[in-house]
Chains A and B, each alone.
Chain A
Amino acid sequence: MEVCGGQTHAIMRHGIDQLLPPAISLIHGPGCPVCVTPLEILDRGLALAALPGLTLTTFGDMLRVPGSREDLMSMRSRGADVRVVDSPLAALQLARAMPDREVVFLAVGFETTTPASALVVKQAAAEGLTNFSLLCAHVLVPPAMAAIMAEPDNRVQGFLAAGHVCTITGWALYEELSEQYQVPIVPTGFEPVDILDGILHVIQRLEGDDPGVENRYQRVVKRDGNIVARTVVEDVFTVCDRPWRGIGTIVASGLRLRDRWGAFDAERKFDVGGIRPEESTQCLSGEILQGRRCPLDCPAFGVECTPANPLGATMVSSEGACAAYWEHARPRGKEGAR
């Protein structure tokens, strides 16, 4: 399994899946934070965006993700102040520039992105900004990998671990998981040759009956990762249970702001009433995110569900598996095929 959606896209774009011998199948993992952001948090973000005097900021990938009733893009077209930022620093800058408005950053992302969110919270506090807060949807990768391995129908025999997550966490973190499930885990980069090299080392370890962690992204992944970043994250966030969209709650897989940073927590700061999320009944994205089904198995793929009219986040996120298949492996004959 390649865990990271960025790697899924690289694999599909370069046709690596088609070059492999039939004994090797790549199963696409849950590594798309946009896709797994729980509907409850997205709906809360939509409710916040409707508040007068509030500017909701987030990464561009979130805008087209379907909420229970609508998405952020359609709210924006109806006049809500929803803005795309490429960094939480840009959201902080908006808060500085608009002291009479509340600025909320809908913070999604794995370990790669979390340090940036943690740092802007500390910076906002240092500058005395009281109009900036996070709606925190940050999640952790290793608990999701463990949850996949613990499933009785699990088919995963080896992992390409997400290179940029490991840049922060370090590779030693995976030793316990590898030991517990006797599964090779190979932190891997994003170039096509990196991915082939990662696959080669997983296979060599499987053939040698020698599971373990082998770092193949040595140019940026160290044993203990980025300790400065880990310290900032530890200071600002604490681990919590978190529902993953389509998958269900994974114990100790999410992050929320610690009480001492509660003034920067949009969930505590704004009361938007009860949130009652309603998921599409047609969407298979949960099965796809757990590696049980392939996007092409979904009857709605390319018919009821397209990037222009998505049923689930996996069709619109730039890391979603359904989007990768739509872009690079869409079967001819499906409605809307180019």
Chain B
Amino acid sequence: MCLAIPGKILERTTDHGLPMGLLDLAGARVKICLSLTPEAQVGDYVIIHAGFALQVLDEDEARATMVELERLAAASDPDPGPTL
């Protein structure tokens, strides 16, 4: 129920007065309500749940997390083996 997935805003529109966004969701185009994230801009990634964007994804934090996870993976694998 509380699963939410990231999508990228391609275009902003409105529907019955509600701010909407056309999003790229892993290749699919979907319309999502942006009422809860009025600050979201075209090009932003947002976390989507039940037809609504819940939060704008913080790109710097996402990158910092990736770096940390890679560091963890390197620290826990003494023999990473040949790289492709």
Contacts and interface: CB of A to CB of B under 8 A. Distances in A.
A228 interface: yes
15 contacts: A33-B2, A86-B51, A89-B51, A110-B1, A112-B49, A113-B50, A116-B51, A164-B3, A164-B47, A164-B49, A167-B47, A197-B69, A218-B64, A229-B36, A232-B36
B63 to A, nearest CB: 9
Which of B3, B17, B18 neighbours the largest number of chain A CB atoms within 10 Å of its CB? B3
Contacts, number: 114
Contact of B54 (A86, A109, A229, A317): A229
A47 interface: no
B1 A5 contact: yes
B38 A228 contact: yes
Interface of B: 1-4, 16-18, 33, 35-38, 47, 49-52, 54-55, 57-58, 61-62, 64-65, 68-69, 72-73
Nearest to A4: B2
A226 B1 contact: no
B65 A219 contact: yes
A190 interface: yes
Which of A34, A88, A89, A90 neighbours the largest number of chain B CB atoms within 10 Å of its CB? A89
A277 B62 CA distance: 46
B47 A115 contact: no
A39 to B, nearest CB: 18
A61 interface: yes
Interface residues of A, number: 48
Nearest to A90: B51
A87 B65 contact: no
B52 A87 contact: yes
Interface of A: 4-6, 31-34, 59, 61, 86-90, 96, 108-110, 112-113, 115-116, 119, 123, 126-127, 162, 164-165, 167-168, 190, 193, 196-197, 200, 218-222, 226, 228-229, 232, 317-319
A4 B4 CA distance: 12
A119 B52 contact: yes
A100 B33 CA distance: 26
B64 to A, nearest CB: 7
Which of A31, A119, A200 neighbours the largest number of chain B CB atoms within 10 Å of its CB? A119
Contact of B4 (A31, A119, A164): A164
A68 B57 CA distance: 42
